[in-house]
Structure 1
Amino acid sequence: MQKKQKTSLVWFRNDLRVNDQTSLYQAIKNSEQVIALYCFDPRHFAETKYGFKKTEKFRTQFLIETVQELKTNLLKHNISFLVFNEIPEIVIPKLITDYNIEAIYLQKEWTSEETVVTETLKNELKHINWQESYDQFLFHPEDIPYAEFKKIPEVFTEFRKQCEKTVRVKSRLETPKLPESNLIENTTAIPSLTDLGLEEFETHPKTAFPFQGGENQALVRIDAYFWETKKLSVYKKTRNGLVGKDYSSKLSAWLANGSISARTIYWEVKRYEKEIGANEDTYWLIFELIWRDYFKYISLKHGNKIFQLQGILGKKYDWKFNHKAFQQWTNGNTKEPFVNANMIELQQTGWMSNRGRQNVTSFWAKEWEQDWRIAAAYFESMLLDYDVHSNYGNWIYNSGVGNDPRDRKFNIKRQAEMYDANGAFQKLWLQTSLF
């Protein structure tokens, strides 16, 4: 039987929840004492080489709210949550010494920025027992029907069909409560937007995403979207909408920072199907979770290629970059009103619909043939629901260097006619921009 570690640290990153949280569950099971940590890494809020912040105010505010709620929820489990506005490479070695920590539990990350931080710490802290878990998937890597990540198919449909046929989604983990004696003195504070170098703001009254961050808020949203309004039963029909909070589930923002797990959503859909009824619409939310998984597996398979100009295909295009064009695109000042409305919505709220994203990315990469990486970095800065794998996976897909076997280009005027036939969405945001 494994000897219990005296004290373990749970290092939270993009897994900011108490329920169905593998690292937390395992740390509690294998340790006498558990301490939790989150670092607001200043590098995440610095200016990029493109002249805008790596993370802007919208997602940062959502993150602050998430961390505040996580602190409350951890305290209910008698776990102290230390929060620092500092890089982990400085914080963690000091905590190891101060609390005689023997093991660190964390979610497994594999993209380059996160890996560099983890590897730097591992090299310095060789005596520490590192426990990393893949915990951001619907279909766990142990369960997928591919012996190696390099065997993941390049076409989504093949991946989906194989996984649906062979994988059973894991059950949710119930996190135990620790005794009060587990608590330690904690004088750390959660930073504000201004502490992180960002400006305070009021939520835009017209936003399609009027929600707050945090695990409890994610569950409130599920309750409203599934059980109160039963909008899940029409999800596929409405998901290409543009106006209002209920055309889609909006769960992507909570999924992105891990304040809810894909498994939790999946099992709640299954309960809904059993109690209310299953149809193509209810299935389609699971279908979207599988797409999310797929981009994560593509990122595992191809590594840094998802960030490179030629993408995973190694395709060479004559990419350009014109600063004036970038200003026109980000400020909603192009020749396409539909693109403009979507870009103004993003600039003022941190949100854009799925339909909008496909059109503005196609316009930037296929119409204007501008370097997609700069636009992808802008999305990273602005989007409330930024997820590294989905963001870059979608950008390479829409730029002709990713997993789109058809390499399609959107007819934006036709798209506007189809999805904003009465012009309500364009009126909403193009009029807003005049003030």
Structure 2
Amino acid sequence: MTTSTNANAASKGGKSLVFHWFRLGDMRLHDNPALQKSILQAGNNKNIVPVFCFDPRIFGNGARSRINNELKCGPKRAQFVLESVADLRRNLERKGSGLLVAHAKPEDFLDQLFQQLGGDDAVTNGKVICQEEVCSEEQDVVKAVDTALRKRCASRLPLVETVWGSTLYNIEDLPYQTGLADLPDSFTPFRNKVEKKCEIQTPFAAPNSMKLPFAADSPQGKALQPHLSYIPTLQDLGYTSEQMEEAKHKSIGNLEFVGGETAALARVENYIWTQDRLQIYFDTRNGMLGDDYSSKLAPWLAHGNVSPRFIAKECKRYEQERVENKSTYWLVFELLWRDFFKFFSLKHGTSLFFPGGPVGNDKKWHHYEKNLQAWKEGKTGFPLVDANMRELAASGFMSNRGRQNVCSFLALELNQDWRYGAEYFENILVDYDVYSNWGNWASGAGMTGGRLNRFNIVKQSKDYDQHGDYVRHWVPELKNVPTKFVHEPWKMTQFQQMEYGCKLGVDYPNPIAKPYYPQGGGKGGNNKNGAHKGRGNNNRNKPNPNRGRGQKQDMKSLKEGKIHMK
């Protein structure tokens, strides 16, 4: 909205309204650039209308993915969002404000609010500010909101302003062209250039106070009171009783993934300061079993409950007050991966969602429903894969190491369309992040160019679960199998199977694919024939059969170990 528009509105006697639309990626008060913009726009009166919408296109059993009809948001993540919204409301109320919540499409609810809070003039005087996202679904919703509001007042000017947020580095600070056409397609040159030429800006503090533009006992306040107290239940959102029961379980060991800024800041405090785990992060980050082998900040980062710049600031403070080492650098290094994924998504657009990914690879994928189900249920006969998939189903979380292995197994051992895996993760993960999830799945399947890294699942299992503790924890069928066989039970003789109480094909599945033993035993095995180079085959020009989400990242990303912030 321009200054002249506000001036014209003021001349008509209307009240200027700023609607801050909280989205799934910025549910916090501290270091929220979009919220700071709203406060600046509101001026001295600080009259801001905070809004959050549970969009039925995302939540509930009716919101399904295009390829394999997966839930777009599973019950565990939906519960995390409910907790985040409730916490956000409490924090806003402590500042003297509130949060209007609706189970509705944002374009419908915001249009309704504009009318209720000021009639048609409210659209002329009003403005919606929100965090900018770069994938097509999120952008389409912003366009729908803007279209609805402009239609109401026949405005030619945009009434929705998006503000960059959620990254360590602001997009305008990057040493690349507008549109990021010259952004590298691999992480290392990006990291080297950004770390050399850019500074992480100081995070904003949470606002001291905010207020709503109407009194609670005013006609407007009374009309909107239901939205100021409403928080839907999972049932309201369209989840079943069974799914609601499933949502109760989203923890790793003693660490419960509770949504919200309060829990996020508590986790940062506990991990870095109380438990003093930051100084050994580099050495423990590839663990699989336990609460604190990694920061496990991913769920809170994915939902914007905590700012990456705040975490970086805490790491710097830790270096000043306690110790500076490779571990203190490495946690910030991991945060930079998140930046890369989002910037990469902006550069490449929706090409990620083609079967051939951003490179337009013409590989023919197969779909074997039986194998896909075995993979989902953790019944592939490969202990490491099965343990990780069962952990995911039980908790909504999986280690980075696990994500790399199960991705490689589905796409490269089973030759299954990688997008089935990406959609399943979108459904199940508590820490689902569109950029990291889809980019890494495409990368793991070899759809982003560069060297194809095929993981040696058995070697990975032996390297990262040396004694088989993780496997036995999640695959109790193998609890009595000795370490010699726990990573490759198919090597047991019939007599040994009887001795250890694990008969293959009865107690535990036979492998659904031939075990991969590359010459030399490398961590992933190099398929020289699988390197995918070049861009622009005819797949890139075909209409996208899937709705846009996420975007790309190259094979080096997967090799260097990133599927999500840990």
Range of TM-score over shorter length = over 0.9
Alpha-carbon distance between aligned partners in 1 of 2:174 and 2:393, rounded to the nearest angstrom = 38
DSSP 3-state at the match of 2:181: helix
Alignment of 1:13-162 (within 5 A): 13=23, 14-31=25-42, 32=45, 33-45=47-59, 46-49=63-66, 50-100=68-118, 101=122, 102-126=126-150, 127=155, 129-148=159-178, 149-162=180-193
Given the superposition, is the C-alpha separation of residues 268 and 281 from structure 1 closer, same or farther in structure 2, using an over 3 Å criterion?
Answer: same
Distance in 1 between the 2:408 and 2:78 partners? Answer: 27
Structure 1 unaligned residues grouped into runs of 5+ = none
Q: Does 1:397 align with 2:443?
A: yes
Distance 2:460 2:277 in 1: 24
Distance in 2 between the 1:205 and 1:260 partners?
Answer: 18
**Contact conserved, 2:107 with 2:148, CA < 8 A, in 1?**
no
Instruction: Name the % identity.
Output: 38
Greater mean alpha carbon deviation, residues 28-37 or residues 206-215? 206-215
User: C-alpha distance in 1, partners of 2:433/2:232?
Assistant: 22
| 1:200 paired residue number | 244
**TM-score if structure 2 supplies the norm length?**
0.74
Contact 1:105 1:131 in 2 (8 A): yes
CA contact (8 A) 1:207 1:351 kept: no
Hey, what's the Cα distance between the residues in 2 that align with 1:21 and 1:258?
A: 9
1:187 counterpart residue number: 226
Cα distance in 1, alignment partners of residues 471 and 175 from structure 2: 45
Are the equivalent residues in 1 in contact too, given 2:29–2:207 (CA < 8 A)? no
Match of 2:419 among 373, 377, 395: 373
**Map 1:242-321 → 2, pairs under 5 A:** 242-321=288-367
Task: Decide whether the 8 Å contact of 1:8 with 1:35 is kept in 2.
Answer: yes
Aligned pair count reads 433
Shift of 1:180: 5.3
Larger radius of gyration: 2
3-state SS of 1:142 partner: helix
For the 8 Å contact 1:78–1:182, the answer to whether it is kept is no
| CA drift at 1:335 | 2.4
CA drift at 1:121: 2.0
- Preserved contact between residue 49 and residue 212 of structure 2 (Cα < 8 Å): no
Residues 250 and 396 of structure 2 are in contact (CA less than 8 Å); yes or no, is this contact kept in structure 1? Answer: no
Please state how far the C-alpha of 1:181 moved relative to its aligned partner. 6.3
CA deviation after TM superposition for structure 1 residue 295, in Å? 0.8
Structure 2 counterpart SS, 1:35: strand
Indicate whether 1:416 and 2:445 are aligned: no
**Distance apart, 1:175 and its partner CA:** 3.4
Distance 1:94 1:279, change over 3 A: same
Hey, what's the Cα distance between the residues in 2 that align with 1:429 and 1:47? 29
Alignment partners' CA distance in 2, 1:337 and 1:207: 20
Q: Which runs of 5+ in 2 are unaligned?
A: 8-14, 479-506, 508-566
Determine the structure 1 residue equivalent to 2:369. Answer: 323
SS at match of 1:124: helix
TM-score by length of structure 1 reads 0.95
Letter in 1 for 2:40: K
Q: Aligned partner of 1:6: which letter?
A: S
Conserved? CA contact 2:282–2:326, under 8 Å:
yes
The aligned counterpart of 1:347 is 393
How far is 1:197 from its partner?
2.3
